[in-house]
Amino acid sequence: MLRAGHSDFAPHGRVARDGVLLGGGRPPPPGARPPTPRERVLTSRDAPRVGGFLPWVGAGVTLLRDPTSFFQRTRERVGDTFLVEGFGVRLFCVFSPEGVKNLWALPEAEASKGVADFGMLAHKVPAELFAGRRTYPHMLFAREDVEVYLENLSAAVELELAALGGRGELEAFAHCRRLAHRMGLASWGSRAATSPRHFERLVEAFDALDSSESFVHPPRAFLTWATGKRREKAALTTIEAIYAEILRELPPLAADGAPSEPGFFDRIRAAWADVSGEARIQGIARDVVLVHMGSQSNLFAAMAWTLVHLIERPALLEAVRQGDDALLERCAHESIRLRQRSIVLRRILRPCLLADEHASYRLEPGLSLATMMSVTNTTAAPGLDRFDPDHYRGPLFQRTKELEGRELVTTFGHGAHYCPAARFSISAIRIATRALLERFELEPRFRDPAPLRRQIGGVARADRPCRIGYRQRP
Ligand code: HEM
């Protein structure tokens, strides 16, 4: 069992071993009532500090090599709350039930996800993309008629499966990546975007722009930075040019608001109805890009793991093939839980307090606050390191009562930042997986894929190709 808290605090900050500086508050006067955690207010520097022996590099190199193991090992050594310093960043980390619960509860104005995300993505994504956006995923997915996307998803899957032919070999992640591009663009980028004239060029450009690179392959961020984001800026220009063509082809929006096609693209167009010319094209294209980039982080990888886990378990696969959609959705939720690599990152904007089981910490602006789902999702109760669809009924995790805190296990997040596209994503995975299983016999040509170790965000990519032989079913 992991130790929570700081029973091994050294009183006045000394370096213990492996670059860990043990901090801690003043010892209470003799005979005094021990303070409650809320009364025991410490600064972020009083938490055990994990640095390194090179001052600026700090613990950064070790962390980036394998973030999940780094956090796990550090927890085992110093407890569930600690401060990591590296590459000039100060990361206040919490992994205990109380600490994680309080992280999720902090308001955006004090601990901002938006600013933290921007800091992470700014290395990769051209800054102009973030300015002046009018449509965000929340606006698209919050509406009652959200099920309009199902029709688009099925049409997109049909197109992609037809391209597979009668037999061959596919790589699960590459296949799902194309499929997710097609399903996503069909839903919010217009049907025209998935036509052969535009689709291949859009896929190429979106892959070049892909913001998830910054947390899937963190070292590549340096390359992007060193080249002044040339490749990414060119990709954005290409996408804008393609949308100029698409918008020329489409009939204007109906005056009575009747949709020209199912999906979200008309809503994005409507948001720019008061603008004309280049600014309109650019505005619409960039809104589509921002929604699509949100999707690229997780959806295809979650789809691929669902497929991989089913192919590894023929009995489950057969039950799904016989029509058990509820089982298929449970497999999707379980795959996401098990393969989550998301760091939950917040940037402190205003001084605030964050309590764990032992003390309250004063967090100062500029500090980053984090926990990592891959650590808690798999260790919060025995057996959570294994795939078992019985862990879910619908989207509900079934073992919450066994957890010391319900926030320790998550798929789509908690509270105010809960993923707006959760239902959409599960539908997309269900439709894509079912179509593939019903159409083809599948044969695994991979063994024991595991998450890519360096990844520090999103659903895991695999550490090896997951090849699958397919043959059309009679
Ligand atoms: C299986 C697929 C997906 C998974 C596992 C997933 C997971 C998550 C998680 C864990 C969060 C919360 C992160 C945090 O609080 O730090 C989140 C937020 C978010 N997701 Fe997803 N996501 C998925 C698909 C998508 C798709 C398809 C889109 C866009 C089309 C999307 C857009 C967003 C946005 C915009 C937020 C931020 C919400 C906010 O800050 O209020 N996600 N997602």
What CATH code is carried by the domain that includes residue 217?
A: 1.10.630.10
* Arithmetic mean of pLDDT over the chain: 88
> Would you say residue 118 has pLDDT above 80?
yes
- Compute CA distances 179 → 100, 186, 246, 252, 301, whole Å: 34, 10, 21, 29, 11
- Last residue of one domain, picked from the residues 359, 374, 389: 374
Judgement on whether residues 41 and 156 belong to the same structural domain of the protein: no
For residue 344, pLDDT beyond 50: yes
The number of the ligand 1 atom at minimal distance from the alpha carbon of 373 is 10
Q: How far apart, in Å, do the first and last CA atoms of the chain sit?
A: 51
- Provide the phi-psi class of 448: left if phi over 0, else alpha when psi is between -120 and 50, else beta: left
Per cent of the chain over pLDDT 90 is: 68
**Residue 366 resides in a domain:** yes
Q: How many angstroms separate the CA atoms of 435 and 156, rounded?
A: 11
Domain extent for 35? 14-124+345-374
Is position 9 within any domain?
Answer: no
Q: In this predicted structure, what is the pLDDT of residue 457?
A: 87
Do residues 89 and 134 both lie within one domain?
A: no
Say whether pLDDT at 11 is over 50: no
Lowest mean pLDDT among 87-101, 141-155, 234-248: 141-155
Asked if the structure places residue 230 within a domain, the reply is yes
Residues in the chain: 474
Identify the residue with better confidence: 33 or 56: 33
C-alpha 71/C-alpha 80 separation (Å) is 9
- Give the H or E element holding residue 14: strand 14-15
Average pLDDT over residues 26-49: 80
Residue nearest to ligand 1 atom 23, measured at CA: 298
CA distances from 312 to 316, 383, 449 (A): 9, 18, 10
Q: Do 299 and 203 reside in the same domain of the chain? A: yes
Distance, CA 278 to ligand 1 centroid (Å)?
A: 30
Query: How many domains does the chain contain in total?
Result: 2
Which of 169-173, 209-213, 352-356 has the least mean pLDDT? 209-213
Q: What is the mean pLDDT of residues 36-41?
A: 80
Q: How far is the CA of 420 from the centre of ligand 1 (A)?
A: 6
Question: What separation in Å is there between the alpha carbon of 419 and the centre of ligand 1?
Answer: 4
Band (251; pLDDT cuts 50, 70, 90) = confident
Distance 324 CA to ligand 1 centre (A): 26
> Are 300 and 365 found together in one domain?
no
Residue nearest atom 27 in ligand 1 by C-alpha distance: 295
Residue located nearest, by CA, to atom 41 of ligand 1:
417
In the prediction, which pLDDT does 137 show?
A: 86
Helix axes 230-249, 196-209, angle to 10 degrees: 150
| Mutation pick for ligand 1 pocket among 419, 423, 433 (CB with most ligand atoms within 8 Å) | 419
- Lining ligand 1 with CB less than 6 A are 113, 137, 291, 294-295, 298-299, 302, 336, 342, 344, 411-413, 417, 419-421, 424-425, 459
| Of 215-219, 326-330, 331-335, the least confident | 215-219
- Statement to judge: residues 415 and 433 lie in one domain: yes
Q: What's the pLDDT score for residue 55?
A: 61
- Same domain (yes/no): 136, 214: yes
Q: Two tokens at 237? A: 């220009």
Same domain, 336 and 456: yes
Above 50 in pLDDT, residue 305? Answer: yes
Is the confidence at residue 429, as pLDDT, over 50?
Answer: yes
Question: What is the best residue among 298, 303, 373, 392 to mutate for testing ligand 1's pocket, by most ligand atoms within 8 Å of CB?
Answer: 298
Residue 304 pLDDT > 70:
yes
User: In angstroms, what is the span from residue 306 Cα to ligand 1's centroid?
Assistant: 18
Q: Which of 374, 390, 422 is the last residue of a domain?
A: 374
So what's the pLDDT on residue 50?
87
- pLDDT value, residue 10: 30
Same domain membership, residue 207 and residue 62:
no
29 or 441, which is more confident: 441
> For residue 2, is it within any domain?
no
Q: What pLDDT shows up at residue 210? A: 84
Determine whether 414 is exposed, middle or buried from the number of CB atoms within 10 Å of its CB (0-12, 13-18, 19+).
middle
- Confirm whether 58 is domain-assigned: yes
Q: Do 435 and 467 belong together in one domain?
A: yes
Question: For residue 290, how far is its CA from the centre of ligand 1 (angstroms)?
Answer: 12
- For ligand 1, the distance from its centroid to the CA atom of residue 277, given in whole angstroms, is 32
What is the separation of C-alpha 89 from the centre of its chain, rounded to a whole number of angstroms?
21
What is the CA(222)–ligand 1 centre distance, in A?
25
E strand or H helix at 320:
helix 314-321
With the C-alpha atoms ordered 388, 391, 396, 400, is the resulting torsion angle positive or negative?
Answer: negative
User: Which among 101, 412, 455 is the best mutation to test ligand 1's pocket, defined by most ligand atoms within 8 Å of the CB?
Assistant: 412
pLDDT band at 288 (very low <50, low <70, confident <90, very high): very high
Overall average pLDDT of the 390-394 stretch: 97
What is the per-residue pLDDT for 47? 95
Same domain, yes or no: 223 and 298: yes
Domain assignment present for 1: no
pLDDT at 379 over 90: yes
What's the chain's Rg over C-alpha atoms? 24
Q: Which two tokens stand for residue 183?
A: 């399903």
Does 456 lie in the same domain as 320? Answer: yes
Q: Convert the pLDDT of each residue in 71-94 to its tens digit.
A: 999 999 999 999 998 777 889 999
Run of H or E including 97: helix 97-105
Residue 426: its H or E element = helix 422-439
Looking at the CA of residue 340, tell me the nearest atom of ligand 1. Answer: 5
pLDDT at position 3 is: 35
Note whether 234 and 330 are same-domain residues. yes
Distance CA 466, CA 474 (A): 25
Q: Whose CA is nearest to atom 9 of ligand 1?
A: 412
